[in-house]
Every structure is written in structure tokens, then in C-alpha cells.
Amino acid sequence: METRYVIGIDLGTTNSALAYAEVKPDADPFAPANVQLLPIPQLENPGEVRDEALLPSFLYLPGPSDFPAGTIALPWDADRSYVVGRLAQKRGVENAGRLVASAKSWLSHSGVDRTAPLLPFRAPEGVEKISPVEASRRYLEHLRQAWDAKMPDAPFTEQQVLVTVPASFDAVARELTLESAKQAGYQNITLLEEPQAAFYAWIERHPDWRERVHVGDLILVVDIGGGTTDFTLIAVTEQSGELALNRVAVGDHILLGGDNMDLALAGVVAQRLAEKGTRIDSRQHLALWANCRVAKEKLLDPASDAKEQPVTILGKGTGLVGGTIKAKLLRSDIEQVFGEGFLPAVPSHEMPAHQRRVGLQELGLPYAADPAITRHMARFLRQQSATSEQAAVRRGPSGIACPTHILFNGGVLNAGLVRERILASLNSWLGEEGMPEVQSLSGEDLMHAVSRGAAYYGMARHGRGVRIRGGVPRTYYVAVESAMPSIPGFPAPLKALAVVPFGLEEGTEIRIPGREFGLVVGQAAEFRFFTSTARKNDQPGDLIEDIGEELDELSPMEVSFSTAENSSEVVPVSFETVVTETGVLQLWCVARDGRRWKLEFNVRERV
């Protein structure tokens, strides 16, 4: 059955969203994509299901007396034993020990087993924990079920689905996101990076984008979500006489976002309580963290002019009223913490500080050592890799990349205070370089931009929109051992098979025709890869007989491909190459009987 809709899903640290657009094969290719938002049914209160524009990425694991029987049922699941969304967030403020939060940040934590039951982190004794993968599965499953409830004539599993991930996610985090989606019943899935999705949303909202940016412009996408901060540079170039968009740089993984800010605010309130003689324990601090998140959002709401918000947490006693601790979060607290801690005015050559590590550490999320987002932005703009695409980067006399435009994304940037501090720092750096101030690309709904942009990209793959190019900056080869008689003291000579041509656009699949090679399966074998920036004309399937100085070898990988018989053999295979939208090379080895094995690694140049 042909796909009727493309669905864009923003699986966020704090909020998730779903947008979609209808695929009409006979539609005018220049007509607007007409992206829509799906209202998401969820529990607002016990026994009360309401449609909301966002699904808060919170999961509450109830105790036996948390809710009356039957009050957490959903229209599609009468026996639901946990709560996802708005009610989970609200109840978690009262009992943080049963609240799963920041699952996406844990999904990116390479220092733990992300498939192990870790959450809720620091849960009290007796609370059954789940893994970050399982938590993500439940959010994604809720979105799938919500779609099917709203769109019964277009089953979710028959649509094309794009799920977004941070640009800084490593290969394991991306693979685990895919695994969560598959466990949630997703079938036709593509991953897309959040900063690119945010820019696609801006294009979707501005059909006249070609009149707003020009050849030579450089766009900085600043994406600050609940758990991560991402930076991306997109250059406006010219191709065949028309404007084109080229993603030229992606930043490193920075585990720094709204969670850190909320925790810092909780620290300020806890210190104020301690000065008055009230000290709180770790369990209460978790509740205070959750309360400060809610209070901060109310104070930063553009419609609010309040100077403070009450914050209440349960005391250590048994009394529900007499045992409560009351405090306040002040607007001035937010201005001080954000301005001095997270967004200080710094010179463009000041790099993030490296924290001296203590030999023994408590397990937890590996947050960035330096909380100053402005320093991370300076590092990103100063430390661009020297790639073939960097000619498109506009630079100042000191070598810093100098954006002409900036696009904000992420819930944190809903706050005018945050945007103003970032603009002030960036414009001061540009002034030192003799460059004009950056222009903001505005007019976006920051809470839905990523899901909308993902749906727009899905339409672009059907020829109904503009795609941001992200060509592979070099040619890639896999080593093939020659079929020569063994000679004592001399290893068998190697040849290099081109598998990815220079400039191959991300999101592209190619088959390497007319060649078969023997793949060792059933035992550990070493695979060697080479790259070249000099050989730009080699095509997939070209076999280089002499591996000379023009080819640079990457670190080899040792892989053991399994077989159903668990026996060692050499299987004739052909190759299929996929470069995903997130910059991962997947080299598929395809046997004549249809069996498939995959090798993969990152081909993207990063800061």
C-alpha cells in the first residue's frame, strides 16, 4: 500500500510532538506542503483524557495507592499500568522518586548500559525501574496509538515516519532510538537531525526563503533543548543557477540544556532555605528540581509579568499540610543564574573549561563540565574542521566563522532573556571581526518546529520541498584481500573497493553493480577502510589495485558476523551502500540467498 502521510516526530527530552502532511502524487510540486499538528490525547487528571499540542516526555510509575482503580486507563488501553504525558509530569512534581525524566539524555550516555533498568534514577527502594530504551519506547508507542485513535483510516504502520535525534547523538544512541521505535511498532522509519529539522520548519513557514537569504550567507542553528545543546552551520550556495542549502558543520555532543538550568535554580532555592535553617534531603531535592522547572516556565511565559512563583515540596514528616516546605523562585534568580552561569558575556577566544576529574564519581548523567553555553558556541565557531566544504564558511580576520543569520530552536529559547544573551555575545564577536550584526530568522513555533520540519523533509523526499545538502566530504573504500597464493613472510596484497563516492548526498542509497566478494562469517574478522580527499572521481565498484599515498586508512574494526548454523564460512556477497540522514555509512553485505550483514561508521566531519 502506498504511503498516504509522512509523519514527523520530535522525541524530546522534555516534550514530544507529532506533525504530518498528506502525500498527494498528483499535487503541484510547488504547492505548500501543508504540514499539520496532531493533537495528542493523554491524561490531564485521573480519569480525564484531553487533547494537548505536546506530549510531555515524562513517565510515572504508580504505587498501589497512587490512583483509584481504572482512572489511568486510556481509550485504547483499559489496563494501562503507568502514566505518560501531562499527568505524569504533574504527579512527578509531588513524588519525584517515581518519575522517569530525561530518558533521552540517558539514551545518549555511553558510560552506562542504556538497555538496563536505570530509571527513575535514585528511585526509593521498592520502585520497579525501566531502561532509557523502554521509556523511549513507551513515549513513541503512545504517539503511535494516539495517531491510530485520531486517524483510523490511515494506520500508523502504513505511513512514512521520521523521528528526530540530536545532531550530537552517537551511533549507539541513534541505533537505540531506532530499536525503541521498532519495539513501539514503527516500521518505515528514518532518523533526521533536530537542527536540520528546525531549519526545514523555517523553510516550510517561509516559501519566500530565497528572498530572505542569499548566496554566501551562513546560518547558525542554535538548538537548546531539555537535555542537549547542538550547533549547526548551514551555508547558502548556488547550484545550477539556483539557491541551494549546504550543511557544512555539526558540533560535538554537549549534554547541557534546560535540565541543567532547572537544577541550578533548585540549588538557589535550596540554599535560600538552608540560610533560613531548613535543609532538604536528596529525595526532596528531586521534587524541588521538578517544581522549579514548572515555576521557571510560568515566570518565563511571555504573557506573565509575575516577579515570583511559589515552590512547595513535602516535608519529611507524615503530615500532608503541616509537613510541607514553602519557598519562592524569583524572576531575579532566573536572570542571575542564566546570565552569569549559562550565558555569560565572554570573548570569542575563551573556550569551555575542563573540570578536573575526581577518581571516584557517583554514577549519573555526564553533564558538560562548563555550563556556559556561550563558551561552547565560541568553540564551535572557532574550531571548524578543514574539510572540502569549509570554503563555503564565511570567516573573520581571526578565523572565526561569522554567521549572517541565526535560527533558534528548542524550548529553552522560548525565553526572550536567553535569545537576547546569545545574540549579544555573537554580535560582540562579529563586531570585533568588523562584520555586521547577525539577523534572526524568526516566526517559528519553537515547541513544534522540529516535528513540523521532519514532516516537511518527508514531503521533500517526495519532491514537494527543498532539501538541505550534506555531501560526504571524501571518497570511502573497503579493503579486499587479493586471491593470491600465500608466500612466507609476505601478507596477501590488498585492493581498495570504492563504496562511497565523493560528494554523495546524505539520505542516499546505492548498489554496487557487477561485483561479488567473499565475506568471512561465523568468526571474528578484521575490516579495513580507507578514505581519500584527492581521488574525487572514483565511482562505487571501482577497484584500486595499488593502495598508495592518496588513500588514508581509518582505524580497523573487528566484527564477527553470525550465521544461523553458527559455522564458519566464506559467503559470496555483493554490496549496497547507504549514507543516512544522520551521516552514518551503512555498508550492507548481501548474500545470494538474501541474508544481509551490516558494517557502519560515521562519515561526517564534526567539530
Q: Topology of 202-255+371-460 in CATH? A: Nucleotidyltransferase; domain 5 (3.30.420)
Residue 290 CB: number of other CB atoms within 10 A? 24
Q: Residue 168's pLDDT is what?
A: 73
How many angstroms from the chain centroid is the CA of residue 603? 17
Best-predicted range by mean pLDDT (28-42, 258-272, 462-476, 480-494): 258-272
Read off the amino acid at residue 37. Answer: L
What share of the chain has pLDDT > 90, as a percent?
Answer: 52
With 0-12 / 13-18 / 19 or more C-beta atoms within 10 angstroms meaning exposed / middle / buried, residue 373 is buried
Distance CA 604, CA 249 (A): 9
How many angstroms from the chain centroid is the CA of residue 323? 41
Assess whether the region 202-255+371-460 and the region 258-342 belong to the same CATH fold.
Answer: no
For 116-153, the DSSP string reads S--BSTTPPTTPPPB-HHHHHHHHHHHHHHHHHHH-TT
Distance CA 102, CA 2 (A): 36
User: What would the pLDDT profile of 127-158 be if each residue is shown by its tens digit?
Assistant: 999 999 999 999 999 999 999 999 999 999 99
Q: Residue 490's pLDDT is what?
A: 60
Domain ranges of the chain: 5-192, 202-255+371-460, 258-342, 475-602
CATH number of 5-192: 3.30.420.40
User: What would the pLDDT profile of 482-506 be if each residue is shown by its tens digit?
Assistant: 865 555 656 668 899 999 998 888 8
Q: Which of 8-17, 329-338, 343-352, 529-538 is predicted least confidently? A: 529-538
**b/e 420-446 (16+ beta carbons within 10 angstroms → b):** ebbbebbeebbeeeebeebeebeebeb
User: By C-alpha distance, which of 465, 474, 472 is closest to 533?
Assistant: 474
Q: Residue 388's pLDDT is what?
A: 40
User: What would the pLDDT profile of 430-461 be if each residue is shown by its tens digit?
Assistant: 999 999 999 999 766 888 999 999 999 999 88
pLDDT, mean of residues 2-28: 91
What average pLDDT does the structure give for the chain?
87
As a residue count, the chain comes to 607
Q: Residue 474's pLDDT is what?
A: 82
pTM as predicted = 0.83
Cell output for 136 = 523511549
With bands split at pLDDT 50, 70 and 90, how would you rate the model's confidence at 384?
low
User: By C-alpha distance, which of 399, 345, 405 is closest to 375?
Assistant: 345
User: By C-alpha distance, which of 553, 550, 539, 551 is closest to 501?
Assistant: 539
Yes or no: domain 258-342 corresponds to CATH 3.90.640.10:
yes
Cell output for 588 = 550492507
Give the residue with greater pLDDT, 362 vs 76: 76
Please, are residues 235 and 218 in contact by the beta-carbon 8 Å criterion?
Answer: yes
Distance CA 516, CA 454 (A): 37
Phi and psi angles of residue 171, each rounded to the nearest 5 degrees, phi first? -60, -35
How many angstroms from the chain centroid is the CA of residue 168? 6
Give the residue with greater pLDDT, 471 vs 542: 542
